[in-house]
């Protein structure tokens, strides 16, 4: 499930050891492990689930090449190179090729590191195998997003350009000017402190990145020869990214052909020097939702078809209203009004276009083709925010008590694969080694949990995959509940955004594991924080837990301002339990500043307790032995 974006994956091993290493990756994923027929006996004996190929591996790889997104070999890199060399075509179409060494310690991204995703796949496999990813791309080494991957999270499309030239300039640390005329600038806020990008006009650039809805600038605006680097007569290398910001408003007569609509769009784009890759989708009136040509065109190009009813369209003020159109469909404008509505994210109002986030507008033009029936009207509006074209995801991730070893591989993969990571700054620091260049990382202060949840939903609704991290388990006094509550209040359908939950080791388990087996029998957790829960309710639960002889974990036991709660809690427990009841006070379990104290209920207040501490109060049978806290598994034969 976690490597789903790479599926189908072919895993190739030619030795029993290799098969054993790669089989770990078969769980949960659309991955097939292939081994030679000659290893059938070994793999069956070892209980390794594999498929078998006969004949040469070269032929076998050639057969799988076209249909697989990724290949993971446990084989010498030289052998892999010879196998794949005749099959390689272009970095934009070749599958990801990853090599794992025979000891399973290194995962090498061999080929199609960026667009094929091999770098990312190598990272994720390394997390799963507890190995080191070997990524040799220059941008990764510099902590930078690759030039040809920059816009991928936002659904931008690659346009014209010298991609190798600009990437080389970045690798050499040359000044690269970024001219961003369209789409989100969020990526700019998440670059490392030292990066070669320059957003103003100050330094002399050695390369350019255009982020725009326009076609190649140098050729059409000034002529290539004007962009010369100072030291040579060669034109500066430049590339074009096209965020999907253009909404094409279309009005047409019933039965208009798909060719005519496509030709009309093409002409308006060419005449205005616009890139068709920057098209977000088509907008029209609702009665055209079943227009065959529009539906087919949208399907073919993977464009959404947004429709609006005439009551909404007629509220939009447009440059070219038409009485004829109004009489026919009840609004004086279809193409212009629909383009504007789509670009304004469905919030038509009478304010000027600029205030509504429309950056650019091409008024309607009418097209007919000689000898063909039908007519089509096309208008274009450029939205502030790009259309990503994916269903967003929220990954609710528990990072465990603090040390990465105590975080599940699935949770690690979730963080590393997300487009954006949101969480409290301390926890983000603890998982920093999982972060990768180009990720949007937003750490918010501890008090702003609700804002964090809202921000995650906002980014996911836009189309990003967002990891929301909590320490311990995200569903235990964590961010998980806040996100789901917030989604519920927004009328969430349960699917969009998609939610996936990655459990983590909660503080009570982490604390327990450091002192013995205090949670061996019935237990409960009570948070002493009355910020979100009334104190009377907390007291009631303390009373009930103490009375029912539950082992009790106290979360949020004491803060700088909340000092009385722990005293009251202790007094309540003393009403029902012996003063000598064992108590563990565990602070910052599995972190560098970990502190552990084993004490008793009557002496609990002699130990320093703060917000990084969990207090475990034993039940009436809990005892200590040689500095270990033991709650017996059962009490048969005991009274009490
Ligand atoms: N979601 C977290 C709990 C967050 S509430 C979880 O499942 O663990 C915050 C409280 O958790 C802290 O006040 C403290 O009581 C406890 N806590 C979190 N991390 C801890 C750690 N490493 N050691 C001890 N207690 C911890």
Residues with CB under 6 A from ligand 1: 401-402, 470-473, 476-478, 506-507, 510-511, 555-556, 586-591, 611-614
Q: How confident is the model at residue 224 (pLDDT cuts 50, 70, 90)?
A: very low
141 assigned to some structural domain: no
pLDDT at 336: 95
pLDDT at 29: 66
Whether residue 309 is preceded by a cis peptide bond, meaning omega within 30 degrees of 0, is: no
pLDDT at 176: 95
The CA distances from residue 240 to 115, 209, 216, in Å, are 16, 6, 7
Nearest CA to ligand 1 atom 2: 472
Structural domains counted in the chain:
5
Same domain, 515 and 501: no
Measured distance between the N- and C-terminal CA atoms of the chain, rounded to whole angstroms: 48
**Considering only 127-141, 219-233, 447-461, which range has the smallest mean pLDDT?**
219-233
**Considering only 199-208, 451-460, 499-508, 610-619, which range has the smallest mean pLDDT?**
199-208
Q: 407 CA distance to ligand 1 centroid (A)?
A: 14
Q: How confident is the model at residue 232 (pLDDT cuts 50, 70, 90)?
A: low
Q: 524 CA distance to ligand 1 centroid (A)?
A: 14
pLDDT at 558 over 70: yes
Residue 70 near residue 6 (C-beta atoms within 8 A): yes
Q: 470 CA distance to ligand 1 centroid (A)?
A: 10
Q: 543 CA distance to ligand 1 centroid (A)?
A: 22
Place of tokens 């002409």: 267
Which of 481, 591, 614, 617 most suits a substitution to test ligand 1, by most atoms within 8 Å of the C-beta? 614
Q: What is the CATH number of the domain that holds 32?
A: 3.40.50.11220
CB burial of residue 302 (10 Å; 0-12, 13-18, 19+) = exposed
In angstroms, rounded to a whole number, what is the distance separating the alpha carbons of residues 52 and 34? 6
Q: What is the DSSP string of 88-109?
A: ---TTTSPEEEEE-TTS-EEEE
Instruction: List, in order, residues 6 or more apart from 394 with CB less than 8 Å away.
Output: 456, 457, 460, 465, 466, 468, 483, 497, 498, 499, 500
Nearest CA to ligand 1 atom 18: 507
Q: 461 CA distance to ligand 1 centroid (A)?
A: 30
Q: How confident is the model at residue 218 (pLDDT cuts 50, 70, 90)?
A: low
388 assigned to some structural domain: no
β-bridge mates for residue 630, sequence order: 517, 623
pLDDT at 221: 45
What are the helix (H) ranges across 130-179? 138-141, 163-171
635 assigned to some structural domain: no
Q: Which atom of ligand 1 is nearest to the CA of 474?
A: 1
Mean pLDDT of 617-639: 89
Same domain, 378 and 402: no
Task: Give phi and psi for 309, each to the nearest 5.
Answer: -80, 160
142 assigned to some structural domain: no
526 assigned to some structural domain: yes
Q: 31 CA distance to ligand 1 centroid (A)?
A: 37
Task: Give phi and psi for 359, each to the nearest 5.
Answer: -90, -20
Which of 472, 528, 596 most suits a substitution to test ligand 1, by most atoms within 8 Å of the C-beta? 472
Which of 555, 585, 596 most suits a substitution to test ligand 1, by most atoms within 8 Å of the C-beta? 555
Same domain, 61 and 161: no
pLDDT at 225: 40
Q: Which atom of ligand 1 is nearest to the CA of 470?
A: 1
Q: What is the CATH number of the domain that holds 295?
A: 3.30.420.180
pLDDT in tens, 521-551: 999 999 999 988 999 999 999 999 999 999 9
pLDDT at 162 over 70: yes
Nearest CA to ligand 1 atom 13: 556
Residue 167 near residue 147 (C-beta atoms within 8 A): yes
Mean pLDDT of 482-499: 96
Same domain, 235 and 152: yes
Q: Which atom of ligand 1 is nearest to the CA of 401?
A: 22
Q: In what order do the strands lie in the sheet with 523-527?
A: 523-527, 551-555, 613-617, 582-587, 595-600
Mean pLDDT of 147-169: 95
Same domain, 294 and 378: yes
Percent of the chain whose predicted confidence (pLDDT) is above 90: 80
In angstroms, rounded to a whole number, what is the distance separating the alpha carbons of residues 452 and 441? 12
402 assigned to some structural domain: yes
In angstroms, rounded to a whole number, what is the distance separating the alpha carbons of residues 22 and 57? 17
Q: What is the DSSP string of 476-532?
A: SSSHHHHHHHHHHHTT--SSSSEEEEE----HHHHHHHHHEETTSSSEEEEE---SS
pLDDT in tens, 34-54: 999 999 998 888 888 899 999
Last residue of a domain, one of 484, 505, 526: 505
Q: 498 CA distance to ligand 1 centroid (A)?
A: 27
Same domain, 560 and 443: no
Nearest CA to ligand 1 atom 4: 477
Last residue of a domain, one of 445, 470, 505: 505
Same domain, 433 and 451: yes
Same domain, 63 and 107: yes
Residue 258 near residue 198 (C-beta atoms within 8 A): no
Q: Taking all residues of the chain, what is their mean pLDDT, rounded to a whole number?
A: 91
Residue 331 near residue 307 (C-beta atoms within 8 A): no
β-bridge mates for residue 421, sequence order: 441, 467
**pTM for this predicted structure:** 0.88
Same domain, 120 and 176: no
Q: 555 CA distance to ligand 1 centroid (A)?
A: 6
Q: 395 CA distance to ligand 1 centroid (A)?
A: 20
CB burial of residue 364 (10 Å; 0-12, 13-18, 19+) = buried
pLDDT at 497 over 60: yes
Q: 521 CA distance to ligand 1 centroid (A)?
A: 21
639 assigned to some structural domain: no
Same domain, 486 and 528: no
Q: How confident is the model at residue 347 (pLDDT cuts 50, 70, 90)?
A: very low
Residue 479 near residue 399 (C-beta atoms within 8 A): no
Last residue of a domain, one of 242, 268, 283: 242
Which of 471, 514, 529 most suits a substitution to test ligand 1, by most atoms within 8 Å of the C-beta? 471
pLDDT in tens, 3-12: 788 999 999 9
Q: 478 CA distance to ligand 1 centroid (A)?
A: 9
Q: In what order do the strands lie in the sheet with 628-630?
A: 516-517, 628-630, 623-625
β-bridge mates for residue 247, sequence order: 281, 381
Same domain, 359 and 420: no
Q: What is the CATH number of the domain that holds 600?
A: 3.30.950.10
Nearest CA to ligand 1 atom 6: 472
Which of 608, 612, 615, 616 most suits a substitution to test ligand 1, by most atoms within 8 Å of the C-beta? 612
Question: What range defines the domain where residue 322 resides?
Answer: 246-383
pLDDT at 609 over 90: yes
The beta strand positions in 181-288, using DSSP E, are: 197-198, 207-211, 238-242, 246-252, 279-285
636 assigned to some structural domain: no
In angstroms, rounded to a whole number, what is the distance separating the alpha carbons of residues 71 and 48? 19
Nearest CA to ligand 1 atom 5: 477
Q: What is the DSSP string of 14-50?
A: SSHHHHHHHHGGGTTSSEEEEEEGGGHHHHHHTT---
Q: How confident is the model at residue 30 (pLDDT cuts 50, 70, 90)?
A: confident
Residue 274 near residue 212 (C-beta atoms within 8 A): no
Mean pLDDT of 78-91: 95
Count other Cβ atoms within 10 Å, centred on residue 611: 14
Nearest CA to ligand 1 atom 3: 477
pLDDT at 500: 97
pLDDT at 637: 60
Q: 107 CA distance to ligand 1 centroid (A)?
A: 34
Q: Which atom of ligand 1 is nearest to the CA of 507?
A: 8
pLDDT at 220: 47
Q: How confident is the model at residue 1 (pLDDT cuts 50, 70, 90)?
A: low
Same domain, 537 and 491: no
Which of 398, 507, 528, 533 most suits a substitution to test ligand 1, by most atoms within 8 Å of the C-beta? 507
Q: 486 CA distance to ligand 1 centroid (A)?
A: 23
């Amino acid at each position: 499930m976690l490597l789903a974006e790479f599926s189908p994956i072919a895993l190739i091993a030619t030795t029993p050891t290799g098969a054993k290493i790669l089989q770990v990756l078969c769980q949960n994923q659309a991955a097939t492990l292939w081994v030679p027929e000659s290893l059938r006996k070994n793999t069956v004996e070892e209980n390794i689930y594999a498929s078998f190929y006969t004949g040469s591996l070269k032929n076998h790889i050639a057969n799988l090449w076209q249909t697989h997104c990724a290949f993971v070999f446990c084989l010498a890199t030289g052998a892999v190179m010879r196998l794949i060399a005749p099959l390689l075509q272009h970095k934009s179409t070749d599958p990801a090729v990853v090599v794992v060494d025979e000891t399973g310690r290194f995962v090498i991204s061999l080929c199609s590191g960026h667009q094929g995703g091999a770098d990312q796949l190598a990272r994720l496999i390394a997390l799963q195998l507890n190995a080191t990813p070997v990524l040799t791309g220059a941008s990764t080494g510099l902590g930078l997003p690759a030039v040809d991957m920059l816009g991928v999270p936002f659904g931008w499309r690659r346009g014209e350009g010298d991609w190798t030239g600009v990437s080389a300039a970045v690798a050499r640390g040359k000044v690269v000017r970024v001219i961003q005329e369209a789409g989100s600038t969020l990526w700019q806020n998440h670059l490392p402190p030292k990066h070669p990008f320059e957003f103003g006009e100050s330094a002399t650039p050695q390369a350019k990145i255009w982020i725009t809805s326009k076609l190649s600038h140098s050729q059409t605006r000034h002529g290539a020869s004007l962009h010369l680097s100072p030291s040579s007569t060669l034109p500066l290398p430049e590339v074009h990214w096209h965020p999907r910001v253009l909404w094409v408003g279309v009005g047409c007569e019933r039965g208009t052909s798909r060719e005519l609509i496509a030709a009309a769009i093409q002409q308006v784009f060419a005449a205005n020097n616009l890139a068709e890759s920057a098209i977000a989708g088509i907008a029209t009136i609702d009665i055209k939702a079943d227009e065959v040509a529009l539906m087919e065109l949208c399907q073919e190009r993977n464009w959404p078809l947004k429709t609006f009813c005439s009551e909404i369209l007629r509220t939009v003020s447009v440059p070219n209203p038409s009485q004829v159109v109004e009489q026919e469909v009840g609004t004086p404008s279809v193409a212009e009004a629909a383009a504007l509505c789509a670009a304004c994210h469905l919030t038509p109002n009478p304010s000027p276009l600029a205030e509504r986030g429309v950056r650019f507008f091409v008024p309607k033009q009418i097209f007919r083709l000689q000898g063909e029936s039908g007519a089509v009207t096309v208008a274009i509006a450029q939205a502030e925010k790009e259309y990503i074209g994916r269903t967003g995801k929220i990954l609710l991730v528990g990072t465990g008590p603090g040390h990465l070893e105590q975080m599940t591989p699935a949770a690690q993969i979730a963080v590393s694969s997300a487009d954006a990571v949101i969480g409290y700054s301390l926890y983000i620091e603890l998982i920093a080694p999982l972060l990768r260049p180009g990720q949007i990382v937003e750490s918010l202060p501890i008090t702003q949990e609700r804002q964090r949840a809202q921000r995650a939903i906002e980014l996911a609704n836009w189309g990003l995959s967002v990891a929301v991290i909590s320490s311990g388990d995200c569903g235990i006094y964590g961010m998980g509940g806040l996100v789901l509550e917030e989604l519920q209040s927004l009328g969430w359908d349960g699917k969009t955004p998609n939610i996936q939950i990655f459990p983590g080791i909660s503080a009570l388990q982490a604390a327990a594991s450091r002192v013995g087996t205090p949670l061996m029998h019935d237990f409960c957790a009570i948070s002493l924080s009355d910020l979100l829960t009334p104190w009377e309710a907390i007291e009631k639960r303390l009373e009930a837990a103490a009375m029912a002889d539950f082992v009790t974990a106290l979360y949020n036991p004491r803060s700088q301002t909340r000092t009385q709660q722990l005293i009251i809690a202790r007094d309540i427990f003393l009403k029902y339990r012996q003063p000598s009841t064992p108590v563990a006070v565990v602070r910052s379990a599995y972190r560098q500043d970990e502190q552990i104290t084993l004490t008793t209920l009557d002496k609990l207040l002699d130990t320093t307790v703060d917000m990084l501490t969990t207090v475990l109060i034993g039940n009436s049978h809990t005892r200590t032995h040689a500095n270990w806290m033991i709650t017996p598994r059962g009490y048969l034969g005991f009274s009490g």
